[in-house]
A = this chain, B = another copy of it.
Amino acid sequence: MSPEPVLIAGKWRESERTGTFQAANPATGEFLPPLYPVSSWSDCEAALNSAHAAFLEMLSMPGERIANFLEAFAVKIEERSDALVELAHLETALPKTPRLAGAELPRTTSQLRQAAAAARSGGWRNPVIDTTNNIRACFGPIGPVVVFGPNNFPFAFGSASGGDFAAAIAAGNPVIAKANSSHPGTTKLFAEAAHLAAEETGMPAGIVQLIYRTSHSIGEQLVTDERIGATGYTGSRSAGLALKQAADGAGKPIYLELSSVNPVVFLPHALDEKGDALAEEFSGSCLMGTGQFCTNPGMVLLIDGEAAERFITDITRRFEGAAVGTLLSDSVRKSLHESHRILKEAGAQILCGTGPGSGAGCCVANTLFRVSGNAFLRDPETMQTEAFGNSSLIVTASSLKQAAAILEHLEGNLTGSIYSSACGKDDVAYDLLAPILRQKVGRLLNDKMPTGVAVSPAMNHGGPYPATGHPGFTAVGIPAAMTRFAMLQSYDNVRPHRLPEILRDDYSGPAQRLIDGTWT
């Protein structure tokens, strides 16, 4: 059986490979038949040349044409939705409905259409005009973007379909997609649809290319190449940090989403008022999708007391009673066990779980750990080990003051939530804790679990290191996410007819522009 082809320079062709790999069905543990190639540098070199050529062609392309491509791609995805859902389910064990077909697929096409609208309007370019000095500035495309997609969202964060892909293309950059090794077939289906859409809408050959895997060193060479503008990466912290070090050394922007425990604080009076409902809300959020969300509530902060004890008893019972979901892959299962081992060794007490799960295929029992505030503060770094999956760590602080100290020791996170009394009884505690938590997270929530990530212009799916590599950017939300793949371009005394249309005096398009200090 010959390996699946790569998509390079507009052709599906045999990879110049250094090896092959297979994906597995996590629900059965069995390997799936197709062989996928591990690309050599030769594949990357060809992809880089084609991406560079495509980029030069896209530089003079109106946003309208890029929008047409993105919209045609969205239609092709919808035409193939059954096949995509079927194969993604096989490769990831994520439920076909509602998850893949009802939620993730529409989210993906909606993101592509929002990106298309942004490309069409040009508003993402943030045009600023200073007529006195005749200086004008806007964002412009940065160059070809390499996208490394994660295992947990094969559609909405997929390297040839998801948020980074849509944002990079809409900002005028070709994409070299590196499939996630756990769902290469799904990524290939997307790349096929994108390729057809690109041909239909007259895009350059290198606008979308696909490879499946490389060695670590070739991956590092790829993100540092002079033909590359930037990289988007969502995945494990260790692999991401190796890429970050390489890209940083070459001065190439890299946007990473690495890890996050998403602390949730339940203040005492909120627990008093509706502890039962909150236990249900938390358990549902933490076990949904077998806990495999970037924004999964992996740490709960409580303040010692009766309400806290009742809450802990309640969620433990719920975790024990809930069905155990299948994990995305055997390596997710292994790393969840490894995180559990680390937390246990550091002194966390097992409330439930950590053993083999009762679900199908790759699984681990629904797990809750508990640790005192004192123990947490003895080794806060280890206690923040991300346990990606159906698992959470409950920290019980001896006092409000200790709760504040615990938050002071948090690393950067994507989200932080605080539940407080509906009638103001927790307000003193909130006012102490919220400012500390605010600086540690990209998104602060009240009375709400962090797992839903709306595709909104006001969303920040980002946060301080190590949640991401830079706290100024978001990976979700059009148009904000597009500025990651843009460079700031100022035009000083440039003759009017040579300016980008959006900076000209006679511009009549839809984008709002900041002219001499006023949005117009």
A-side interface residues toward B, CB under 8 Å?
Answer: 56, 59-60, 128-130, 132-133, 135-137, 139-140, 142-143, 244-245, 248-253, 412, 415, 430, 434-435, 438-439, 442-448, 450, 454, 456-460, 462, 464-466, 469-474, 480, 483-484, 486-495, 498, 512, 514, 517-519
Contacts and interface: CB of A to CB of B under 8 A. Distances in A.
A473 B469 CA distance: 16
Contacts of A469: 251
Interface-centre pick from A142, A488, A512 (highest chain B CB count, 10 A): A488
Given A135-B456, A457-B517, A471-B488, A140 B438 contact: yes
**Nearest 8 pairs of A and B residues by beta carbon:** A251-B465, A460-B490, A471-B487, A519-B519, A248-B248, A130-B458, A443-B490, A135-B458
Contacts of A251: 412, 464-466, 469
A457 B514 contact: yes
Counted per complex, copies of this chain come to 2
A450 B512 CA distance: 29
Given A56-B435, A457-B128, A442 B488 contact: yes
B490 A442 contact: yes
Contact of A458 (B128, B439, B448, B472): B128
Contacts of A518: 512
A439 B129 CA distance: 20
B59 A435 contact: yes
A228 to B, nearest CB: 12
Given A442-B488, A473-B488, 6 more contacts: A59-B438, A130-B458, A132-B456, A133-B456, A137-B460, A442-B487
Nearest to A468: B251
Contacts of A59: 435, 438-439
B491 A444 contact: yes
Interface-centre pick from A132, A251, A490, A495 (highest chain B CB count, 10 A): A490
A143 B439 contact: yes
Interface-centre pick from A129, A415, A460, A486 (highest chain B CB count, 10 A): A460
A490 B444 contact: yes
A140 B471 CA distance: 10
B493 A445 contact: yes
Contacts of A512: 518-519
A469 B60 CA distance: 26
B465 A252 contact: yes
B472 A488 contact: yes
B447 A489 contact: no
Contacts of A442: 487-490
A465 B142 CA distance: 12
B458 A136 contact: yes
Contact of A457 (B130, B473, B483): B130
Nearest to A518: B512
A346 B253 CA distance: 31
Contacts of A480: 128, 137, 488
A135 B474 contact: no
Nearest to A409: B226
A249 B245 contact: yes
Contacts of A252: 465
Contacts of A494: 444-446
B244 A471 contact: no
Contacts of A136: 458
Nearest to A461: B490
29 contacts: A59-B435, A59-B439, A60-B435, A128-B480, A130-B457, A135-B458, A137-B457, A143-B439, A248-B248, A251-B412, A251-B469, A253-B470, A253-B472, A415-B492, A430-B498, A442-B489, A444-B491, A444-B492, A446-B492, A446-B493, A457-B514, A457-B517, A458-B490, A464-B487, A471-B488, A473-B488, A474-B488, A474-B490, A480-B488
A435 B460 CA distance: 33
Nearest to A494: B446
A146 to B, nearest CB: 16
Contact of A248 (B130, B245, B450): B245
A184 B500 CA distance: 44
Contact of A130 (B245, B456, B487): B456
B456 A489 contact: no
Contacts of A492: 415, 443-446, 448, 450
Contacts of A487: 439, 442, 464, 471-472
Interface-centre pick from A244, A456, A464, A470 (highest chain B CB count, 10 A): A456
